[in-house]
Chains A and B, each alone.
Chain A
Amino acid sequence: MQNSSDDVHWKRTTRLMLVHLFIWFFFGYIVHMFVNYLNQFTIPILKFPLGFYMAAQGSLIVFVVMLFVFAWQQDRIDRQHGVAEDD
């Protein structure tokens, strides 16, 4: 049942998963570990301290955008390997 195209499909899917998982981890955790350092900077005009802003809005925006990009990328992989659903 399993053929090589399916194997490649799953490999690429796994790689995409790891990339997104890393971005998720970076914006979910690593950025906020440096909150004190980032709070030294203030976003011009909006006047938010940067560290606070990242937790209140920045990371959230990244998550939303990421999800749409992921849906698009995964769909592209599925199509290239002929395992996507019919439109």
Chain B
Amino acid sequence: MAVQSTSERAEFMRSLGRMYGLYTGGFLAFIILLAVMEQAGVSNRILGYLFVFFTLAVYGIIGIAMRTAEVSEYYVAGRRVPAFYNGMATGADWMSAASFVGMAGSLFLFGYDGLAWVLGWTGGFVLVSILVGPYLRKFGAYTVPDFMAFRYGGNFARFLAVIVLVCCSFTYVTAQIFGTGIIASRFLGMQFEIAVFAGLVGILLCAMLGGMRAVTWTQIAQYIVLIVAYLVPIVILSTKRYGIPIPELTYGQAIQEITAREQELVRTGLATLCTAANCGATTLKPHIQPFMNYTPLNFFGIIFCMMVGTASLPHILMRYFTTPSVREARVSVGWSLLFIFLLYFSAPAYAAFSKLEVYTNIIGRDITQLRPWLFTWGELGLIKVCGKDAINLDAAIAACKAIAGHPGVLRFQDFNINTDVIVLSTPEIAGLPYVISGLVAAGGLAAALSTADGLLLAIANALSHDIYYNMIQPLRSSRQWLIGLLIAVAVVALIFFLGAAPGPFGLEWRWWSLMGLGALVAVVAPLMRNATEIGRRLIMARALLLLVAVASAALASTRPSDILAMVGWAFSLAMAGNFPAIVLGIWWKRATTSGAIWGILAGWGICLFYLVTTRYFPQMGINYFGMTSLLNPETGQPLVDIAKIMADPQWMNQWPAVAANPLANRVGWFDLNNINCGLLGMPLGFLVMIVVSLMGKEPPKEMQALVDEIRKPRGRTVLQEKTT
């Protein structure tokens, strides 16, 4: 690692400023150019393609320009990313398709209760900064499992940490690639499955070639695109409505209007209010009233799990390994949250403006006078009127006529909107030109790609650095072969059992996967043979990255449901598995190896058990583990009638339960939503870790000295001290 002098660093900052300034200017010029082209009559489809392909090309070029063959560049970008820019990169790393597209939608649907996600996904950075991040930076690890291995002396702790990491990152990355597929298919008219793999190419271009270095500089570029794309439509809308271009200030007025309109709807009989006696999907829940969608336990549970999960997610923590110093790591967390805050405090404005539009211009209108922007989304099956897709005006009228006693005026319960539409449709609601819609699509894509990049890198680094370099390579060569063979057999078996679904050209997916794997081995093996020691490690990292990416794209193309829930699970799993071991490892010298191992096993184990049981084997949970139905937060009644469903063999004998199973995700202990499984896991993890640690012998003096070193920013990283 090159140590930079102060003047060198200042020069570096200046040149970065020039580069990204130029880039931002170029991006704005590009938008204006496309706006002019639109006026000149270029079709929407072509504008959409130009947007997506130009931004992808830029990310690809940055990725290629920043390719590297140096280990420290590949894993931690040479540790010279300034705090400000690392903050931007973290922002892009953090904000995913769920934040960009999904968050405003949840706020629209849940009102106040949706703010649990906003709070949870911001407050966690406080924990990162004061408890974890800077200390890991001082430690000087390449990956989070690196820290676990050194602190809890041994490869077993490393191995557990890798499993936790792969498990939560893989859940998360699948949701991102899924989001990429949705955006690409919606705006480019591609087939969903093809769009998933097209998005994958964009991701791989940069993560594969240059590792952390390329990902960092690309993520900064992606942050600029995504924040411009998120703010432009809403700023214009706010200016049009209230004459002030700061939507975050003006939407208070919109909320007041929403509340007034809600009361009017109820008074005129256009909507039924959600009450303790009757509350469900067709009743109106006032926007600002709390705890109608989540019980207080689940509301605060989500906040807590998302916050603690933030401080445990490896792909976020490893971003702070790239700063030049511990001091900059701390400042960098501040910048990260500032950049994230810009998007998160605008999301409720999106929700409020959309809701006002729906409540004033859709509900209460004569069906014959519905606004035309509805139908572009109705065609895609995302907006329903009177229970049918609102393809066009005639279809909507016909659907409502079919309902007995329909007044001819659209009522609250007649209208259904998919929450993903909220952000994507705002440009149309505001009557803005198509170029803005294209911009929003490019922004959503940037959000999904940047997060997927970071996640894939975290997984691949853990596999190559921790598993291959630190665990397999040191073994004698005969045992290396044995372990290699075992892994290969396991992978092939897994593919064989899971990949039975029919794939393209009449061939099942498992054959496609095996052929791809064979091709990969054929390319990698000769390269490995001729490469140097360091070269081998990087080739291994890239090959594994490719493998993981393709696997998650394959999973995403099967459309596992609900993105928000999947992301929530990833946070809870990370929290239960990592948080106690990392925090106690830094803050409590007495924490021992066996304490950490048992703590991880118990905490992470219970979280995983709760998740898997409630999602996939709810019958088992009810029969053997005393689980009961979750309750409706407003009425306090059970969500499902368990006795009735248990009597129905269709649902009872379904192993594992599919998403449509009425029991899936609706049973549990203490009325606890399975997103919050970390709430069971983390306390148990802490408890077990402390008890087992106290039962064993105090850790050796050298280990305690190492912890002292982590606590002092001055000096070289702990890993450097140990290796020289």
Contact = CB atoms under 8 A, between A and B. Distances in A.
Partners in one complex: yes
Interface of A: 1-2, 6, 9-10, 13-14, 16-17, 20-21, 24, 27-29, 32-33, 35-36, 39, 42-43, 46-49, 51-53, 55-57, 59-61, 63-64, 66-68, 70-71, 74-75, 78, 82-87
A1 B325 contact: no
Q: Which 8 A-B pairs have the closest CB atoms?
A: A67-B334, A48-B252, A71-B330, A55-B115, A83-B712, A47-B252, A46-B252, A68-B334
Contacts of A71: 129, 327, 330-331, 333-334
Contacts, number: 134
The bracket for how many chain B residues form the interface is 35 or more
B711 A85 contact: no
B652 interface: no
Interface stretch (B177-185, B336-344, B482-490, B638-646): B336-344
B127 interface: yes
B305 to A, nearest CB: 12
Contacts of A55: 112, 115, 118-119
A49 B255 contact: yes
A2 B338 contact: no
A46 B337 contact: no
A75 B337 contact: no
Contact of A70 (B130, B252, B300): B130
Contact of A75 (B118, B288, B327, B333): B327
Contact of A82 (B256, B288, B714): B714
Interface string B425-463: 000000000000000000000000000000000000000
A76 B126 CA distance: 18
Contacts of B126: 20, 24, 63, 66-67, 70
B281 to A, nearest CB: 23
Contacts of B123: 24, 27-28, 59, 63
Given A29-B300, A57-B345, A74 B330 contact: yes
A15 to B, nearest CB: 12
B288 A39 contact: yes
Interface string B236-257: 0000000000001100110110
A56 B345 contact: yes
B518 to A, nearest CB: 49
Nearest to A78: B713
Nearest to A49: B288
Contacts of A9: 711-712
Given A52-B288, A64-B341, A78-B713, A57 B248 contact: yes
